[in-house]
Structure 1
């Protein structure tokens, strides 16, 4: 590894997808990284199954890995080549894609920037909720088609956010952020999460309900649950039918939470609207009506950290590396037991 801080500083190897480090780390971040640990910020591991010699050498002496999107899987074989490895600091959200059972059995400590990544997703959801109340997606398309004076006040007599009801599905990091962002508005907030009780929901600023009740009572339902076997298709045809006419479904979580054909049928009928940042499949077929329906706002999975927002993730990860380098526990440690119910 490159010359840097004194030899008692931990050694860190970057491990992430091609090009990710260049988007994640500014020159200032690289300067701070070099001051905290011994590393070569230009050496990035993309694959640990047959690493090039420089990566293999760095891996053999690494105390920690700094990972991000596209990180190589840390299999038992990869860990065997990293005898000194004690920690993984992930500068993104979920660690499911690269942290294996072998990591936990080895006793590695793992940190994630999931809390930092939750903020832009929650901001997107807030914007979607407020736009849905004003019927912005449909009105924007209709305005472009009309291109003439129109009595919008009459057409939108039932629109607006005042005293509307928002149903939040999932008290995840993002779900909790959304509830917090909704506090300044004159909205009633409902919450469904099987791991929270009435008092816990009230402390967040919401009213706990079961999922069927929430669907019946909400003008907008926003999804923030993890993709797990038990959540797949949780918003099915029956629950979509419970939504009141004119309701909007916002999905910034995972496409598999929703029965796609059932939702499409409701959207084509015009009974419901949707703001979809995620779908299943991730990119809908080229002939999907989702691209052209006036009551659908479809975006390409951009709610999470993007552009300059990646630098928030870098700063979170560097804060964690500083804690590691000074012998302090991680502030954003990943709990193996909780990982089974997290995104």
Structure 2
């Protein structure tokens, strides 16, 4: 029986994990080289590839692109007309929240300094700020923000939620972005997890940082371009603010960039979603999309495009 569904995957590992399925043909393509001939009902591009790589789809017959990332900044500029695009919501939130929490604990309790002191045997018993009892502002309350909140609350923190618009939920008030400058001075830790858009590009600018209280910690697990690097460097180099950054602008951050050696700045190389939790969750999502398409149902997580071009 001929395949009812053709699925393009970027790696042999994904092909093997998905295993044979009735009515499904798997094609190996990582967006380099010529596109496979014929219809591709579902296409999974490589993880952490640039949006520009999707230009390879021009002229190919593709129904749905299933990204391996949550963010989709820049995709609309290159996605061919009529192609739907789904993000990987549900795959990375847990790992990203785990890293955000780890960075907060590390920055608050001085773990990077203790690790450096271990090399010289220096016994530093100075007191560090706790995570407990701290007021934490979540700037961005989507899947990642909610996952961070769920992990912060057991640490006895006071969490304030802020999203693009104000609303009420079972836990109380979610503030709108219009309350940002009222809330920033009230919190010792500010966690940014907004998607990158024209509205959020360089949201964390000199004005934003100046509104934070002295000694506060900024945690960025969004995108590097959400923050103004020069403004961030100025505030951290002066010692007034601290930062824990999983993302930077530019990225990768050049080895000679002063952020690397600024006291009070902790940097991880955009690894929020890069944990052992990712691959099995990605396999589960692709398997779900295949099942929905075989049943003639709408796929999940579609954020752009589609037959209507909407």
> TM-score, normalization: structure 2?
0.84
User: Match of 1:168?
Assistant: 138
Residue of structure 2 in register with 1:93 after alignment: 70
In the alignment, which residue of structure 1 is the partner of 2:42?
Answer: 64
Distance 1:162 1:76 in 2: 49
Q: How far apart, CA to CA, are the structure 2 residues paired with 1:216 and 1:96?
A: 29
Q: 1:38 aligns with which of 21, 24, 34?
A: 24
The aligned runs of 1:105-144 (5 Å cut-off) are 105-106=81-82, 108-141=83-116, 143-144=117-118
What is the CA distance between 1:298 and its match in structure 2? 1.0
Q: Deviations over 1:82-108 (max 9, x none)?
A: 2xx4333333323455566765x52x4
Q: Counterpart of 1:73? A: 54
Gaps of 5+ in 1: 1-5, 338-343
Secondary structure of the 1:194 match is coil
User: Where is the helix percentage greater, Structure 1 or Structure 2?
Assistant: 1
List structure 1 segments (4+ residues) > 6 angstroms apart after TM superposition: none
**TM-score, normalised with respect to structure 1:** 0.76
Distance (whole Å) between structure 2 residues aligned to residue 181 and residue 290 of structure 1: 28
Correspondence for 1:179 among 135, 140, 149: 149
1:25 to 2:10 alignment: no
Deviation at 1:249, TM superposition (A): 0.7
Higher strand share: 2
Kept in 1, the 8 Å contact 2:163–2:174? The answer is no
Is the 2:91–2:278 Cα contact (8 Å) retained in structure 1?
A: no
What secondary structure, in the 3-state scheme, does the structure 2 residue paired with 1:190 have?
A: strand
Q: CA RMSD in A?
A: 2.9
Tell me the distance in 1 between the aligned counterparts of 2:119 and 2:55: 53
1:271 deviation in Å?
1.8
Q: Structure 2 CA distance, aligned partners of 1:191 and 1:216?
A: 14
Alpha-carbon distance in 2 for matches of 1:251, 1:109: 29
Name the stretch that deviates more: 310-319 or 250-259: 310-319
Runs of at least 5 residues in structure 2 that lack an aligned partner in the other structure:
none
Q: How many aligned positions are there?
A: 301
| Bigger Rg over Cα | 1
